[in-house]
Every structure is written in structure tokens, then in C-alpha cells.
Amino acid sequence: MSSVYRKIKGGITAPKGFVSSAVTAGVKDPEATRLDLALIASQEECVAAGTFTTNRVKAAPVKVSQTHLRDGDVRAILVNSGNANACTGVNGLQDARTCTRLVGKLLDLKQSQVAICSTGVIGLPMPMVRIEPKFDELVNGLKRGEGTSVAQAIMTSDTCHKEISVSLEIDGVKVKIGACAKGAGMINPYMATMLCFVTTDAKINKGVLSSFVSHAVEFSFNRITIDGDMSTNDSVIMLANGASGGKAIRRGTKDAKKFQAALNYVMLEMAKSLVKDGERVTKFVTVNVKGAKSYNDAKKVAEAVANSSLVKCSWNGNDPNWGRIIHAVGYSKAMVKEELIDIHIGGLAACLGGMEAEVSMDALRKKVAGDAFTIEINLNLCEGEYTIYSSDLSPEYVDFNRSEYAYWKQARKDGLTQQ
Amino acid sequence: MSSVYRKIKGGITAPKGFVSSAVTAGVKDPEATRLDLALIASQEECVAAGTFTTNRVKAAPVKVSQTHLRDGDVRAILVNSGNANACTGVNGLQDARTCTRLVGKLLDLKQSQVAICSTGVIGLPMPMVRIEPKFDELVNGLKRGEGTSVAQAIMTSDTCHKEISVSLEIDGVKVKIGACAKGAGMINPYMATMLCFVTTDAKINKGVLSSFVSHAVEFSFNRITIDGDMSTNDSVIMLANGASGGKAIRRGTKDAKKFQAALNYVMLEMAKSLVKDGERVTKFVTVNVKGAKSYNDAKKVAEAVANSSLVKCSWNGNDPNWGRIIHAVGYSKAMVKEELIDIHIGGLAACLGGMEAEVSMDALRKKVAGDAFTIEINLNLCEGEYTIYSSDLSPEYVDFNRSEYAYWKQARKDGLTQQ
């Protein structure tokens, strides 16, 4: 598929007509100097679509953005890191609305044309006294070629920023897709503390864009897992402004297929980069299940294996422990026949017909010792197949996640992050 | 309820007519000197009931014991630690059957009267050359008062043996219940690498005993979780020989209620002791969910919270992070209204109406810093309630579980544990 698009530079401002800006507001820590407040906007009218966390506890910005995407013509996305604005009640909702109203005013847009996203600690009020005064600088700073600073501003425990852009031809016209994302902890299928923004200058109507986004998310972000947790704030928002000048992409056409493939590629690359940069992750593991009774059964098996703490611990220890893999297969609730299960690790048979394969332990261990490897599980029943992208579980992950809330709450009490 | 029974000494040989024996067979390591092969038997005829792992990949001894419990009149239980005899195919089944046949012969019982359990590494063949020669010593060693040695022989990564016995009066006759158990890793609701043997000299017919066991397991072992994994070998087997001399306990009577309560207590004590001795566990956490729309919804919430890696990490770090708890509540798939959720930690309100409660962080932190505390989650919707017993997740747990299979397989190749 790589022939249909070409990787280019520029991230979310690579597509025509998109501008961005990022500033330092000190959201989490007033003394910090890192970028933590960003804005993406289309210079022309555009259509927008998004998918959000399925967690029933949703952050205030998620609720606000869902409404704006449904009812408004979203043209801008405001985003902060350092505070999730989740479990903050009526005040949190009010804060999110105030942000969209103020930024909308400065952009000469309606409040409902501004989407908003937040990522960071749950349960603390937004430091509006530090955020509001930055809106002028943010809006005045909007320009082309600044995509990377947005990718940087949305980072939390990420160790590197993530962005990608590609160009492809649709009906003889060159169109571009740009994206940036952040991940780190709480990454799980069904969306996580994960933000991804995608822009394109292709012309696409709202209904078609929604279906492009849903398909691409199902194919990418819903197939990654780091720790089996799911955040209150996950959001994928895509803007399409048609600035490339081509005709609208119509559903079911060859062009639609081509665009969908490119978008899937963009989102899958972003999704994989989140796993690779997961909190204290040392391995990128592809779990591929085939031969299941159904697609859903294959998915159940892949999720059980990719989320098993014991399996993930063994990967961290370079241990090709297929026994733990098969025990997770067994409790996945999928239909399996033990005596038919084959497990290959990095292409080498570790388990055949539910039993230990004749294989060199050194060779198997070498596979698991790599930075990236594939676990292939064949149930040998029918045609159901599913792939999930996962990671190991390290002692450092646990250590890293032992304390967060108490520290910040205490810091706030101590006046360190006082509003 | 504590008034209906009295704690006594003796474990599984406290009830009349039960004998036991334990020897060193070197199942995992021929050089080791610890007890690893044990036998429990009733000197009189008895009835038996059991519940087993719901994992679809079942160890050979589980398959054999299920058949014997269904078709035979089980009077003895053979058990080894050090090898799970799981994923060992036809040879593994043959090995398990051979064990029951040989021990049955020595006991003058039919093969189908001997149940068998194994716990240890998955995927390695049973070292029959070391086990078979020990059966004579094992059977000759059977005696009263040896319950503790069985509790010791079934340990794997357990740091202490677990046993309990109680006496109670049924219809004017003193009856006793004894139990021993092992746990450590792979502990999860729906059974784990967990073995529990229970004996009683009460007179109970097979159908009634089955229902006693099912109820008690649902109330105890199915409510504990350490790492969310589920083993291939879990077994709870109970023997009742009527040696106390009383009349049979009939279903639905006051005596049945009394006996059930005592059995629930015995199994819950064993289950809790497994959590407390979980691999590298530092805290015992009771997660109590109330106010749910239904029993099943309460269960979903309790399981989501008790199995969340991020929640368990925060407990390990003495972090009263209610934000992570509420995010797990949100993705549990239970019906919840964010604005109604209250969370108390150790009796102190941490979250009220879905938002941060006014509370001293030091006081909250002190609660989580304890060895044992309760998380109470009130959804404030209806009457559904469920309790689960859980633990923290420590960096040491991950480190402990990083490598096992490769080590032993290599050791076997090197001749260290050659059969």
C-alpha cells in the first residue's frame, strides 16, 4: 500500500490552510518552561469528526467537544497537557466552556466551532488563572509550519513527540494528511489517555469523514494496549478543509479506498509510536491471532494475551514462556481446542498442538530478547483473525506509577502549584 | 457468625477418620529436600465434591479428577508441587492416570477413587521416574495429625503454609471441618493456581456436598484477585466421611445453614490468606461496591478496580489516588452516573458526587499506607453489592515473574533436572 502515499514533513500543518501555535502556561507547574497549551486551526471553513473514550466517566473537555462536533462546525482545537480536567464537576465543565468561548472570540468563531482536549492528572481543578491570560499569545502566534510545537505541547509522560504527514493523489490533485499524537500511560484498546489530531486538505463531507475516522481508529488506536487501563480523556479529532482544491471524496469510490488506506497508515503509525513510547516499555510486541472461530473470538484471545500481567512480565525478562500465553488463551472465553493450538514466537514454533515444540531454547530466547517481535497464535479452528500491538510490563512501569495524585495534591496545598 | 464454630488445631486431619502423608520426591529439582508430594485419605467411605478452573486449557490432573469426582467415590487425593502437568498432551494424561492407578492399588482403592492435583511450571513433562518410587513411602506414611505437612508440600512460591480447622455442633453432634490451601501467583476470580483441600467428618450426601462447595467457593475463592490471571490447574476438593457419627445434613435445614456458614468461613479465611501471601504483595485491600443497579454491575465495578494495574500501582505507592479508581469504575461497563459516585478510602471520603472531597491528604495517605484497608465505592443507584479481596502491584512482583520457564527448561537441558 505504500505506493499510494508519500511521507512528507510538517505534521499537522503540512496540509494546506492549517495553522498552529503553542505556548507555555504552566498548567501543571507554574515554574515549568515547557510548552503545554496549543491551538490548531483551519484558515478556511472545514468539517470535523472525532471519536472519544468509551469510559463512562468522561472528562469535561470530552463532553464539550462531543457536543461541539455534533452541533457545530468545528474549525479549531484547543489542547492542554498537565491537567485532565476530569472529575471536576460543574466547575470543570464551566472551565472547558469558558476556554472555548474565549478562544472562539479571539478567532472570530462561535464557541461551538472550537473543540477542546486536556490530558494530565485526574481530579484537580484547572488553573484558569494561568491559562486564560495566554489565549492572546496563543491566537496571535498561529502560523504555518508550527506543527511540531503542538506535538511537543501535548506530551505528558511521553519521552518523545509523535507526528507524521503524508501526501497522496486523489483524482489528479495532491492532498495531504498530517497528524500528531500523545500517549504514555493508560493505553488500552477502546481508547486511552491518548490524544490524536489529524488534519487534511482533502475535500470530504462530514458524514464521509466520520466514517473514515471510525474505520481508521478501529484499525489503529483500538488495537494497542500497554497496561489494560482506559482513560477518561481519549480523543481523536480530525479536520478536513478541502484547501487542496480537489473534488469531494465520495463514499465507496476508488478514491475513498485510497484515502482510507492512507489515513489507516497515518493512524496506525501514530498508534504504534504510542506503544513504543509507553511508560517504561522496553519491547514492542505484535500479537497476531488466526484460525479463530470468529473475528470476535480472535479479538478476545489477542486481548487476553496482550493484557496478561504474567505474559507481559515474561516478555520483560526475555522469557519465551508459551505456557503463560496458552493459559491466557484458555481463559479468554473464546472457543479453543487445546490440542490444536500452535504458538510461534518470532517465527519459531514454541508450542505445537498444545504442547512444547522441539525448538532450541537459545533461539527462542533470542527472539524475545529483541526490541520487537511477533507472537502468532493459531487456534486452527476457522478463519477469524485479529492483531493487537502490545508491550512488556516492567518493574520500572510499576515504580513509575506508584505515586502521582498525592504528590500533586500536596504540592498544590504547599502552594507550589497554587492557582 | 463466629459463635457457631470454634477454631481448633489439626488442619485437614482434624476431622475424624482422615489421614495424610507427605514426602520429598524432588519433582522440580532432584536435589531439593522440601516436601513436594502428598496424600490425603479417608479411612472410611466418603463422598467428594470439587470445583475446578474455568480455563479452557486444563491441566491433565484437572481432567482426571473431574472424571473421578463425577463417576467414582473419591476417597483419596494425591497432590504434587513443582510441576503443573499442564500442556503435556496425551503423555501428561497418561502420567496422571498412572499416578492414580498406582496409588489406588497401594490403598486398595479403585483408580477412580483417587483424585489428583498438580501445581508448578506449565509445559514440562512430569518426572515420573522420581515420583513413582515414592508412592510406597507415601502410603505407608499415612497417619492422623499430619495435616500440616500436606499444607507445606503443596507450596510453590508461597512464603508460608495455609491451614485452618474448626468444630461446630450439628444436631447435638460435634463435627469438624479442616482445610489447607496454596496460592501465590495467577490468583484471580474464577479460580487460579490455587489448590484447596477440605475435609469434614460431618455426614453429607454427594449432592448436598456439591452445593455446599459451590456456594462456599463463590463466596470465597471467586472473590479474590492478585494479578488478574487464571491458572490451568485450580482445584478445590472436599471430602466428607460422616465419621462424626451424626445424621446426614439435609438441604434447606437450619443445620445446613449452620454448616454452610462454617464452610464459608473456612474457605474465606483460606482465600484471604492467599491474597495476603500473594507474590510480592504488600497490602490486603478489600474493595466493597454498593449502590449498583444489580449484583452483576457491582461485581463488574469491583473487578475492574481490583484488577487495574494503575490502581494497584498507586496502592503500592501509598497513593490515595481516587482518580484512577473512578476511571476504572467508568470503564467497568456497569451503569454508573459520574456525579453520584462516592469513594471512601479506609472510611474517609476521598471522592463525593464524582469530585474531590474536602479531606486531609495526610489522613488519606495514612490509610493507604497501612497493611490492610477498604475501598468503598457507592454508586448510589440501587441495592447491588459485591466485595472482592485484592492486593497491590509491586515492582518486585514484576521482577519476580520476569523469568521462569526458560530457566527451568534450560536447567533440564543442562541435566540439572534431567528425568
pLDDT digits over B108-153, tens only? Answer: 999 999 999 999 877 889 999 999 999 999 999 999 999 999 999 9
- pLDDT surpassing 80 at residue B185: no
Contact indicator for A77, A115 with CB cutoff of 8 Å: yes
CA angle A295, A300, A302 (to 5 degrees): 90
| Number of helical H runs and strand E runs in chain B | 13, 16
Question: What HEC string does chain A produce?
Answer: CHHHEEEECCHHHCCCCEEEEEECCCCCCCCCCCCCEEEEEECCCCEEEEEECCCCCCCHHHHHHHHHHHHCCCCEEEEEEEECCCCCHHHHHHHHHHHHHHHHHHHCCCHHHEEEEEEEECCCCCCHHHHHHHHHHHHHCCECCCHHHHHHHCCCCCCCCEEEEEEEEECCEEEEEEEEEECCCCCCCCCCCCEEEEEECCCCCHHHHHHHHHHHHHHCHHHECCCCCCCCCCEEEEEECCCCCCCCCCCCCHHHHHHHHHHHHHHHHHHHHHHHCCCCCCCEEEEEEEEECCHHHHHHHHHHHHHCHHHHHHHHCCCCCHHHHHHHHHHCCCCCCHHHCEEEECCEEEEECCEECCCCHHHHHHHHHCCEEEEEEECCCCCEEEEEEEECCCHHHHHHCCCCHHHHHHHHHCCCCCC
Give the end-to-end CA distance of chain B in Å, rounded to a whole number: 51
Closest CA to B382 of B292, B288, B289, B302: B292
Q: pTM, whole model, 2 decimals?
A: 0.80
Helix (H, G, I), strand (E, B) or coil at B286: strand
Nearest-by-Cβ selection for B319 from A353, A398, A405:
A405
Confidence of residue B361 (pLDDT cuts 50, 70, 90): confident
Tell me if chain A has a CB within 8 Å of the CB of B363: no
Beta bridge partners of A76: A41, A114
CB A241 within 8 A of CB A12: no
B163 forms bridges with which residues in the sheet?
B180
**Do residues A398 and B316 touch, judged by C-beta distance below 8 A?**
yes
Instruction: Among A350-354, B340-344, B406-410, name the one with the lowest average pLDDT.
Output: B406-410
Query: Can you give the pLDDT at residue B17?
Result: 97
pLDDT bucket at A276, cuts 50 / 70 / 90: confident
pLDDT confidence of residue A419: 34
Q: Taking CB atoms and an 8 Å limit, are B327 and A232 in contact across chains?
A: yes
The answer to whether residue A189 scores a pLDDT higher than 60 is no
pLDDT, tens digit (0-9, with 9 covering 90-100), for A258-275: 999 999 999 999 999 988
B247 part of contact set with chain A, CB < 8 Å = no
Cβ count near A411 (within 10 Å): 14
Q: Which of residues 270-289 of B touch A (CB under 8 A)?
A: none
Q: How far lies B54's CA from each of A286, B197, B214, B229, B235, in Å?
A: 27, 18, 13, 12, 10
Q: Which residue of A has its CA nearest to B317?
A: A402
Chain A residues close to B410, C-beta within 8 Å: 361
Mean pLDDT calculated for residue range B399-413: 62
Contact B405, A320 (CB under 8 A): yes
Domain B2-276: CATH superfamily, name plus number = L-amino peptidase D-ALA esterase/amidase (3.60.70.12)
A137 part of contact set with chain B, CB < 8 Å = no
Q: Report pLDDT for B286.
A: 95
CB contact under 8 A, A330 and B409: no
Cβ neighbours of A307 in B, within 8 Å: 228
Banded pLDDT at A308 (limits 50, 70, 90)? confident
Q: Please report the pLDDT score of residue A410 as a whole number.
A: 57
Residue range B196-207: mean pLDDT, rounded = 96
Q: What is the pLDDT of residues B309-322, one digit of tens each?
A: 888 888 998 989 89
- Catalytic residues of B, by residue number, are 193
Distances in Å between the Cα of A411 and the Cα atoms of A65, A124, A158, A325 are 30, 12, 22, 42
Question: Are B324 and A230 a contacting pair at CB < 8 A?
Answer: no
Average pLDDT of every residue of chain B? 89
pLDDT value of residue A310 = 82
With a cut of 70, say whether residue B160 has pLDDT above it: yes
Q: CA B15 to CA B3: how far, in whole Å?
A: 19
Q: Which of B95, B156, B283, B309 to mutate to test the interface with A (most CBs of A within 10 A)?
A: B309
Average pLDDT over residues B52-66: 89
* C-alpha cell read off for B242: 460422616
Q: What is the pLDDT of residue A229?
A: 52
pLDDT of residue A184: 62
pLDDT at A406: 58
Task: Indicate the CATH number of A284-393 among 2.60.34.10, 3.10.20.340, 3.40.50.720, 1.20.1600.10.
Answer: 3.10.20.340
Q: What pLDDT, on the 0 to 100 scale, is given for residue B202?
A: 97
Task: Say if A339 is an interface residue toward chain B (CB within 8 Å).
Answer: yes
User: Does pLDDT of B359 surpass 50?
Assistant: yes
**Percentage above 90 pLDDT, chain A:** 65
**Residue A379, amino acid:** L
What spatial distance separates the first Cα and last Cα of chain A, rounded to whole Å? Answer: 51
The dihedrals phi and psi of B229, each to the nearest 5 degrees, come to: -95, 160
- The x, y and z cell numbers of residue B64, run together, are 482426571
Q: What does the pLDDT read at residue B156?
A: 85
Asked if B417 has any chain A CB less than 8 Å from its own CB, the reply is no
Query: What pLDDT band is residue B418 in, cutting at 50, 70 and 90?
Result: very low
| Residue A402 forms contact with B (CB below 8 Å) | yes
Condensed to tens digits (0 to 9), the pLDDT of residues A194-239 reads 899 999 999 999 999 999 999 999 888 888 876 555 556 688 999 9
Answer yes or no: A199 catalytic.
no
Q: Are A310 and A358 a contacting pair, CB within 8 Å?
A: no
Contact A351/B186, CB-based, under 8 Å?
Answer: no
Q: Is the pLDDT of residue B237 over 50?
A: yes
Q: Look at residue A417 and tell me whether its pLDDT is greater than 50.
A: no
Residue B330 has pLDDT above 80, yes or no: yes
Residue A321: which pLDDT band, with cuts at 50, 70 and 90? Answer: confident
Please list, in sequence order, all residues whose beta carbon lies within 8 angstroms of the beta carbon of residue A189, skipping any fewer than 6 positions away.
Answer: A222, A223, A224, A225, A303, A388
pLDDT, residue A413, reads 58
CA A417, distance to chain mean position in Å, is 28
Q: Looking at CA atoms only, how far is residue A226 from chain B in angstroms? A: 10
Alpha carbons A327 and A416: distance in angstroms, whole number: 48
pLDDT at A228: 55
Does residue B225 have a pLDDT over 80?
Answer: no
Cα angle: A324, vertex A326, A328; to 5 degrees: 70
pLDDT for residue A192: 41
Contacts of A39 (CB under 8 A, 6+ apart): A20, A21, A22, A76, A77, A78, A79, A103, A138, A139, A142, A150
Contact B403 A327 (CB under 8 A): no
Question: Which residue in chain B has the smallest CA separation from A317?
Answer: B402
Q: CB contact, 8 Å: B393 with chain A?
A: yes
Residue B72's closest CA among B64, B60, B82? Answer: B64
Location of each CATH 3.60.70.12 domain in chain A? 2-276
Residue A298: pLDDT over 60: yes
Buried b (16+ CB within 10 A) or exposed e, B172-204: eeebbbbbbbbbbbbbbbebbbbbbbbbbbbbb
Calculate the CA B43 to chain-centre distance: 25
Predicted confidence at residue B4, as pLDDT, reads 72
CB-based contact (8 Å) between B395 and chain A? yes
Instruction: Tell how strand B18-23 and strand A384-391 pair up.
Output: unpaired
A327 shares contact with chain B (CB less than 8 Å): yes
Residue B285 pLDDT: 94
- Residue B290: phi and psi, rounded to 5, are -135, 170
Q: Among A227, A351, A401, A409, which would you mutate to test the B interface (most chain B Cβ atoms within 10 Å of its Cβ)?
A: A401
Instruction: Give yes or no for B396 touching A (CB within 8 A).
Output: yes
pLDDT of residue A123: 82
Q: Note whether ipTM > 0.90 here.
A: no
Report the alpha-carbon distance of residue B205 to residue B359 in Å, rounded.
Answer: 55
Please check whether residue A398 touches B, CB under 8 A. Answer: yes
Tell me the CA distances in angstroms from A279 to A160, A182, A274, A374, B81, one per residue in order. Answer: 12, 12, 9, 20, 36
The answer to whether residue A189 neighbours chain B at the CB level (below 8 Å) is no
The percentage of chain B sitting over the pLDDT mark of 70, rounded to a whole number, equals 90
A186 CB within 8 Å of a chain B CB: yes
Q: What is the C-alpha to C-alpha distance for residues A107 and B180, in angstroms, rounded to an integer?
A: 71
- The verdict on a CB contact (< 8 Å) between B229 and A328 is yes
Cβ of A89 within 8 Å of Cβ of B403? The answer is no
pLDDT at residue B379, as a whole number: 97
- Give residue A344's pLDDT: 98
Chain A contact set for B364 (CB, 8 A) = 406
* Catalytic, out of A193, A199, A200, A417: A193
The minimal CB distance from A313 to the residues B88, B323, B401 is found for B401
Give the integer Cα–Cα distance in Å for B353 and A87: 9
- Could you tell me if A234 and B327 are in contact, meaning their C-beta atoms sit under 8 angstroms apart? no
And the C-alpha cell for A174? 495532491
Q: Determine whether the interchain pair B406/A318 forms a contact, defined as Cβ–Cβ distance below 8 Å.
A: yes
Asked if A416 has any chain B CB less than 8 Å from its own CB, the reply is no
Q: What is the pLDDT averaged over residues B345-355?
A: 95
- Please judge whether B57 and A329 are an interchain contact, meaning their C-beta atoms are less than 8 angstroms apart: yes
Q: What is the mean pLDDT of residues B70-79?
A: 94
Report the pLDDT value the prediction gives residue B231, as an integer from 0 to 100. 53
pLDDT at residue B65 greater than cutoff 90: yes
Dihedral of the CA atoms A91, A92, A96, A99 (nearest 10)? Answer: 60
Contact in structure between A237 and A221 (CB atoms under 8 Å):
no
Indicate the average pLDDT of chain A.
Answer: 89
Whether residue A394 has pLDDT greater than 50: yes
Report which of residues A392 and B180 the model is more confident about: B180
Cβ–Cβ below 8 Å for A185 and B310: yes
Residues of A in contact with B123 (CB under 8 A): 322-323, 326, 351, 355-356
CATH 3.10.20.340 domain range(s) in chain B = 284-393
CB contact under 8 A, A228 and B308: yes
Give the contacts of A277 (CB within 8 A, at least 6 positions apart).
A158, A159, A160, A162, A183, A184
**Residue A344, min C-alpha distance to chain B (Å):** 15
DSSP assignments along B250-273, one per residue: PTTSHHHHHHHHHHHHHHHHHHHH
Q: Which of A274-288, B242-256, B336-350, B361-375 has the lowest mean pLDDT?
A: A274-288
| Gap between the Cα atoms of A236 and A291, Å rounded | 32
Amino acid A190: pLDDT:
39
Does pLDDT of B228 surpass 80?
A: no
Q: Is B309 within 8 Å of A54 when comparing Cβ atoms? A: no
Whether residue A414 lies within 8 A of chain B, CB to CB, comes out as no
Calculate mean pLDDT across residues B271-293: 89
- Of the candidates A230, A316, A364, which has its C-beta nearest B402's C-beta? A316
In this complex, do A403 and B230 lie within 8 Å of one another by their Cβ atoms?
A: no
Mutate to test the interface with A, among B53, B54, B57 (most CBs of A within 10 A): B57
Give the gap in angstroms from C-alpha B317 to the nearest C-alpha of chain A. Answer: 4
Q: A135 vs B193, which has greater pLDDT?
A: A135
Q: Is the pLDDT of residue B414 over 60?
A: no
Band (pLDDT 50/70/90 cuts) for residue A279 is low
* pLDDT category of residue A124 using cuts at 50, 70 and 90: confident
Q: Kindly state the cell numbers that stand for A169.
A: 493523489
Whether the CB of A328 is below 8 Å from some CB of chain B: the reply is yes
Whole-angstrom distance, CA of residue A235 vs CA of residue A212:
15
CB contact under 8 A, A124 and B365: no
Residue B241 clears pLDDT 60, i.e. is over it: yes
Q: A38-51, pLDDT tens digit by residue?
A: 999 999 999 999 99
| Chain A (213-242) residues lying within 8 Å, Cβ to Cβ, of chain B | 227-232
pLDDT for res B369: 93
Is the confidence at residue A129, as pLDDT, over 60?
yes
Q: Do B87 and A326 touch (CB under 8 A)?
A: yes
**Using CA atoms, how far apart are residues B338 and A67, in angstroms rounded to an integer?**
18
CA of A98 vs chain B CAs: smallest distance (Å)? 20
pLDDT of residue B191: 36
Q: CB distance B395–A393 less than 8 Å?
A: no
Of the candidates A321, A339, A405, which has its C-beta nearest B323's C-beta? A405
Q: Does B349 touch chain A (CB under 8 A)?
A: no
